[in-house]
Amino acid sequence: MANTTTAHTHDDHDHKPHGLKRWLFATNHKDIGTMYLVFACVLFFLGGAMALVIRAELFQPGLQFVDPGFFNSMTTMHALLMIFGAVMPAWTGLANWMVPMQIGAPDMALPRLNNFSFWLLPFAFTLLLLTLFVPGGAPAGGWTLYPPLSLQAGDSFPLTIFAIHLMGISSILGAINVVVTIMNMRAPGMGLLNMPLFCWTWLITAYLLIAVMPVLAGAVTMLLTDHFFGTSFFTASGGGDPVMFQHIFWFFGHPEVYILILPAFGVVSEIIPTFSRKPLFGYESMVYASASIAFLSFIVWAHHMFTVGMPLAGQLFFMLSTMLIAVPTGVKVFNWCATMWKGSISFETPMLFSLAFLFLFTIGGLSGLMLAIVPADFQYHDSYFVVAHFHYVLVPGAVFAIMAGVYYWLPKWSGRMYNEKIGKLHFWLSTIGVNVLFFPQHFLGLAGMPRRIPDYSTQFADWNMVSSVGAFIFGFSQLLFVYVVWNAVRSGEKAPQRPWESARGLDWELPTPAPYHSWETPPSRDVVAHGTVQH
């Protein structure tokens, strides 16, 4: 197959490479996308298992199962695994599958780089997971790695730092690939403002990734040199400042949370119109809102650290800029509602997940507004309220959108339909589970329960028990997801060419299942502009 161009593969288009080589030496965007998604799923269950360790320990007051050090390792590792190992790779996997299909491109622009980005991840997480077995145990200072605590880690310290470096390289290269693919590989007639919103939100996400992952690399490099080479970036006695780490970290960290959620906006903006049988309301305002959110994400970072001490002017600035984000986000939420207005809505699994996203992400957004208020944040900071807030935006936010996307596109990918009944069961168990899990944590936080503790005062016992029950319902119902996908791919009903009759976009113009090489010849301008279905 060496030196085969897409021109050659035209003659033998189901000639896929076979065996292990297909995956190790992959350059095909669909194969790499599949690897990303499978990897994300594995890490989702690993990170989920850690979350269940946390919730098992917190089921009752007192120390039951694990010692406090290991508990802290679990919170730290759970976060790192879920953010860098589950959600981000899942989005990159979806981007790999969908971006070339949606813009009419034969593949990603830089296919070898694409495979490099993927294969860095298993190695990065090998490094990170190795920390569980080294003297001193896994990192336990929180995923934010604040010094001086993080500097006091044992042998896990350099492993964690270098794992983050590898993840960062992977993300940067993956993001460069997405930007270049979108900017350079669109079919003729596919203007930027004709692109499906998933491509738009991913373009903006990729820009954020390229801008902030290097900053994280810089921050952890400073930690490394502080630990091993005698620098004093974060040591006050040498003129440094531990708070400086927090500023640099959150300059990365806040755009990072939008990296996790922006592609979700894209997916939901594809699904809601399809199942409302109406075009998306306010397409351009969606694009501009996404871009505004991305811009604002660079000037709000210090709202994560109101309580560490900063000048009043700083607190005011970061409070107000944070609240400003509610405007573009509100535009999005209203647009989704307006899209559904007077639509003829049906409730298949992808739509159910998208609707849950709409409601539950908004709850997370509103608790975010509460946290943005400086005096209120003094109360909420580092409490379970914060935990509830960011889990509402990340689990029924980002994770639900990923699942919605998988249900939505699975028929096009595999050529087979999933079992709608089990899909709906998965949805309801997840949605009920996630609310039982996280809603009580608002109460716990407001009542004063701090985050990242293995034991707590007995007054918090009831809601912790409820929360833990929800955690196990949610966690185990995800096995259904694996079953549904596995079942569909193995023995699902054959999917029609257009599994959802009102789905629009180039991805749906391809045959089902999507051919190994997406658009070897770019679609005609007419297809790009109108598709092949009359509205």
Partner 1 sequence: MANAHASTHSEDKYYVPHDSVWPVFGSATLFIFMIGLCGWLNEWYGPGVFVVGIVMLIALFVGWFNVVIKESQGGLYNMQVDRSFRMGMMWFIFSEVMFFAAFFGALFYARQLSVPWTGGEGVKIFNKLLLWQDYNATWPTNGPAALGPRDDGSFETIPAFGLPAINTAILLLSGVTITIAHHAIKEGNRRILNIFLALTFLLGFLFLGLQAEEYIHAYTELGLTLSTGIYGSTFFMLTGFHGLHVTLGAIMLFVIWLRTLKGHFTPQRHFAFEAVAWYWHFVDVVWLGLFVFVYWV
Residues 131-190 that bind partner 1 (CB under 8 A): 134, 155, 158-159, 162, 165-166, 169, 172, 175-177, 179-180, 183-188, 190
Contacting partner 1 within 340-369 (CB under 8 A): none
Q: From the candidates 254, 278, 389, 412, which is the catalytic residue?
A: 254
Known catalytic membership, residue 18: no
Instruction: Please check whether residue 300 is in contact with residue 353, taking contact to mean a CB–CB distance below 8 angstroms.
Output: no
Known catalytic membership, residue 107: yes
Known catalytic membership, residue 10: no
* Residue 48 CA from chain centroid, whole number: 15
Contacting partner 1 within 284-323 (CB under 8 A): 311
230 in contact with partner 1 (CB under 8 A): yes
Q: How far is the CB of 115 from partner 1 (least distance, A)?
A: 4
Q: How far is the CB of 68 from partner 1 (least distance, A)?
A: 24
Among 42, 113, 326, 369, binds partner 1 (CB under 8 A): 113
Q: How far is the CB of 65 from partner 1 (least distance, A)?
A: 29
DSSP assignment string, 19-86 = HHHHHHT---HHHHHHHHHHHHHHHHHHHHHHHHHHHHHTTSSS--SS-HHHHHHHHHHHHHIIIIII
Q: From the candidates 73, 297, 329, 349, which is the catalytic residue?
A: 329
Among 46, 53, 98, 215, binds partner 1 (CB under 8 A): 215
Known catalytic membership, residue 521: no
Give the span between the Cα atoms of 79 and 72, in whole angstroms. Answer: 11
Total of residues contacting partner 1 (CB under 8 A):
89
Among 65, 228, 288, 359, binds partner 1 (CB under 8 A): 228
Among residues 312 and 490, whose Cβ is nearest to partner 1?
312
Helix (H, G, I), strand (E, B) or coil at 310: coil
Among residues 165 and 278, whose Cβ is nearest to partner 1?
165
Give the span between the Cα atoms of 434 and 20, in whole angstroms. Answer: 38
To which residue do tokens 């531990």 refer? 242
Part of the chain binding partner 1 (CB under 8 A), chosen from 75-83, 102-110, 345-353, 450-458: 102-110
Q: How many residues does the structure list for the chain?
A: 535
- 37, two tokens: 């998604």
Among residues 226 and 509, whose Cβ is nearest to partner 1?
226
Instruction: Please check whether residue 106 is in contact with residue 417, taking contact to mean a CB–CB distance below 8 angstroms.
Output: no
17 in contact with partner 1 (CB under 8 A): yes
Instruction: Please check whether residue 293 is in contact with residue 201, taking contact to mean a CB–CB distance below 8 angstroms.
Output: no
Q: How far is the CB of 518 from partner 1 (least distance, A)?
A: 10
Give the span between the Cα atoms of 454 and 460, in whole angstroms. Answer: 12
DSSP state of 132: G
Give the span between the Cα atoms of 137 and 148, in whole angstroms. Answer: 17
237 in contact with partner 1 (CB under 8 A): yes
Give the span between the Cα atoms of 486 and 418, in whole angstroms. Answer: 9
Active site residues: 78, 107, 143, 170-171, 254, 256, 258, 269, 303-304, 329, 332, 451
